[in-house]
Chain A
Amino acid sequence: DTEVTQTPKHLVMGMTNKKSLKCEQHMGHRAMYWYKQKAKKPPELMFVYSYEKLSINESVPSRFSPECPNSSLLNLHLHALQPEDSALYLCASSQGGLAGNTIYFGEGSWLTVV
């Protein structure tokens, strides 16, 4: 079972709203990731959590705030987003945080900022 579950699948939010994207995996993986993908572009890394601690932040604006409540859950809190933040947000996980661990992606959450 290589399932990463993301909710919601679609989200429309205004620029003054606060919303959250949620991600869950039950594979016992200890590393979890947020990626962002714009149309016709490859996924771009945003954050990496390793053993529930934030290990990598790829200079993401503070209007995106990640949270890892436990080893199975990963949230992305959204506040005061801009229309250009509209994209597919992908959660992923891997057994460990080192290279050589296959990263498995969820189906993504489509975010539209109006």
Chain B
Amino acid sequence: DQQVKQNSPSLSVQEGRISILNCDYTNSMFDYFLWYKKYPAEGPTFLISISSIKDKNEDGRFTVFLNKSAKHLSLHIVPSQPGDSAVYFCAASANNAGNMLTFGGGTRLMVKP
């Protein structure tokens, strides 16, 4: 049973436009959420996180929104750049389970020049 799901395996966006990556979760005990970016042949790079006590966190071009009632979070990238092309993983952890990350399946973002 996948507790974290990224239903879109891929997303294509024009340079300069907004990229919206979505993530849904089922475990109501999750209280910390992270987004990672991964290039081929490299490890995941941490992008941005959000605690369950917040509904929005912003860092430069990246904003994460959390809707706890819908068990949904999204990552907005504005403006999108060709260098943002990568696989994006959503991950979650629960305070009662140590710092174990449960990852979604990933979304491949392609930003076209």
Min CB gap B110→A, angstroms: 15
0/1 interface trace, chain B 32-54, chain A, CB 8 Å (1 if under): 10101000011111100101000
Which of A64-72, A77-85, A95-103 touches B? A95-103
A94 contacts the other chain (CB 8 A): yes
Structural contact, A105 and B45, CB atoms closer than 8 A? yes
Q: How far is the CA of A4 from the CA of B40 in the complex (A)?
A: 18
Q: Which residues of A contact B44 (CB under 8 A)?
A: 43, 90, 105
Question: How many B residues face the partner with a CB closer than 8 A?
Answer: 25
Number of residue pairs A-B, CB distance < 8 angstroms:
71
Out of A56, A105, A110, name the residue touching B100 (CB < 8 Å): A56
Structural contact, B49 and A102, CB atoms closer than 8 A? yes
Q: What class of interface size applies to chain A in its complex with B? A: 20 to 34
Min CB gap B101→A, angstroms: 6
Min CB gap B26→A, angstroms: 15
Q: How far is the CA of A101 from the CA of B98 in the complex (A)?
A: 10
Q: Beyond A99-B93, A100-B99: 20 further Cβ-contacts under 8 Å?
A: A40-B106, A41-B105, A43-B44, A45-B100, A50-B98, A56-B100, A90-B43, A98-B95, A99-B99, A102-B46, A102-B49, A103-B46, A105-B36, A105-B43, A105-B45, A105-B46, A107-B42, A108-B41, A108-B42, A108-B43
